Amino acid sequence: MEINGRESANIEDVVVERFIESISRSFRSRDDKFHVSSLCYPCMRHAYFDITKGSHFDLTTTLKFWIGRQLHATPILSGNEIACEWEKIIGSCDEYESGLLIEKKTCTEIPKQPLSHHVTQLEYYSVLLKHSDHPVTKACILYIDIYKKALKAYKVTLRNVSVIEAEMLQKKRVLEAAISTGKLPPRHISWLCSWCSHCSECFKPQGK
């Protein structure tokens, strides 16, 4: 059987290769919009590289993200995967109904408390929903442990919406300046660096 213009050695190779190609195509390519999923990180270099270079994952990470995407597609509330945009900042909110916003997160271990960048992401989604005439009065993060088959929901108290909006716009200004000049935003080192797909590019000496 031929695949990609060449004869594959066996059917097993064809099946694996076709599957990997399919799930890889499902991830978004880079564009000129500011995605909440990038903007929520404390380090603006993460968002900068997402916008200018696109996201790049190894196979293990790609498979994890694909599994998470399939679980996200299962609706809980009447509003599922609501696409919103405000001030060129875009996002797709997992679940919304009657003022309740839910963000679903797959994980390999449920954290003892919501992770800070997940809380920020939830807050940014609440702003997008507000400007789409879907005000948020309650918010939760639902963690789904794909290894232990366990669930835990955390109620999140959102900051004042004007504070969140100001923070989002400030981050957008930083990114716009970086993209315009080609000068990288300041680096923010944290434990998240260990999981960042742009880590090697970020720490590469400039001019190299």
- The 3-class SS string of 103-117 reads EEEEECCCCCCCCHH
pLDDT recorded at residue 28: 56
Beta strand spans in the chain (E): 2-3, 6-7, 34-35, 79-86, 89-97, 100-107, 138-145, 150-155
Q: Other CB atoms closer than 10 Å to residue 95's CB: what's the count?
A: 21
Q: Would you identify the CATH topology of the domain 34-202? A: Lambda Exonuclease; Chain A (3.90.320)
pLDDT by residue, tens only, the chain of 208 residues: 455 555 556 888 888 888 777 777 666 555 667 999 889 999 999 889 888 887 666 677 777 777 777 777 788 999 998 999 999 999 999 999 999 999 999 888 999 999 999 999 999 999 999 999 999 999 999 999 988 989 999 999 999 999 999 999 999 999 999 999 999 999 999 998 988 888 888 988 865 5
pLDDT recorded at residue 72: 73
- Please tell me the distance from the alpha carbon of residue 184 to that of residue 206, in angstroms, as a whole number: 9
**Alpha carbon distances (Å) from 40 to 37, 73, 80, 115, 204:** 6, 21, 20, 11, 23
- Please tell me the distance from the alpha carbon of residue 108 to that of residue 58, in angstroms, as a whole number: 17
Nearest to 56 by CA among 205, 176, 208, 200: 200
- Residue ranges covered by each domain of the chain: 34-202
- Please tell me the distance from the alpha carbon of residue 104 to that of residue 140, in angstroms, as a whole number: 9
pLDDT recorded at residue 125: 98
- Please tell me the distance from the alpha carbon of residue 200 to that of residue 208, in angstroms, as a whole number: 12
pLDDT recorded at residue 5: 53
